[in-house]
Amino acid sequence: MVNWVLYDYLVWLISLVICLGDVLDFLCFYRRIGYASTLTLDVLSLALVAIGRLGSLAVSMVETMFVTPPVGGGIVGIEALIIASLVVPGSLIGFAAIALHTFAREPVVLAESRTWAEILHSIRKGLTSAGHFFESHPIFTAFLLGFSVRLVPEVLWWPWHVGWDTVEYTAHLADFLTSLNPFKPYYWMGGLRNIPHYWTSH
């Protein structure tokens, strides 16, 4: 019998070691080396490992209704196992990049390009601008947050309807589509109504 808890600990260990190595290696060269170099392999490795580890964790927690502990809870389901497998190529790429940079004493530059420090600075400016935008548009921000939270159960349990009201809306929309008359009588809350479906559904 496969011990998925042991695999979970192993994936965590590999992920942390590789991520630490990638970050330290990246910090040594990012101020003067551009993206058209083998330093980008560190970034690719970090992305694959992060997606593999955090993605499999998210899927496992959803599968167990958030009962599974983040560390040592095991890898639950084939989807989580497939996502966790990204840690393997990510680790190999990271190990190869670190080894190459160690023996060559610096990343191999393939072409002249913007340094990673400049790219990170641009990303930081973009995030700062986005933060100012959301701060100055509180109504839009509140709507976006509420919409995003409400969207989560719809995505998780698609195509099933979530919530009593959602089922009511769908039923009335189906009735309306059979006869495109907004003032046609229909059954609602124990009696017939003659006002548009949309008005009574909100």
pLDDT by position in tens, the chain (length 202): 456 777 788 889 999 999 999 999 999 999 999 999 999 999 999 999 999 999 988 888 888 877 878 887 767 778 888 998 999 999 999 999 999 999 999 999 999 999 999 999 999 999 999 999 999 999 999 999 999 988 888 887 777 877 777 777 777 777 777 766 666 666 666 666 665 554 444 4
The dihedrals phi and psi of 115, each to the nearest 5 degrees, come to -70, 160
Cis upstream peptide for 89 (omega within 30°)? no
Number of Cβ atoms within 10 Å of the Cβ of 142: 11
Taking the mean position of all CA atoms in its chain, how far away is CA 131? 19
Look up residue 90 and give its two tokens: 């990510």
pTM for the whole thing? 0.73
Look up residue 160 and give its two tokens: 């099933």
Give the integer Cα–Cα distance in Å for 37 and 7. Answer: 34
CB 38 within 8 A of CB 100: yes
Look at residue 202 in the predicted model and tell me its pLDDT.
44
CB 22 within 8 A of CB 87: no
Give the integer Cα–Cα distance in Å for 9 and 3. Answer: 10
CA distances from 25 to 12, 46, 91, 117, 126 (A): 20, 11, 14, 14, 25
Look at residue 60 in the predicted model and tell me its pLDDT.
85
Number of Cβ atoms within 10 Å of the Cβ of 90: 25
Number of Cβ atoms within 10 Å of the Cβ of 111: 8
Among residues 20, 166, 2, 154, the alpha carbon closest in space to that of 76 is found at 2
> Residue 169: which residues within 8 A CB-CB, separation 6 or more?
201
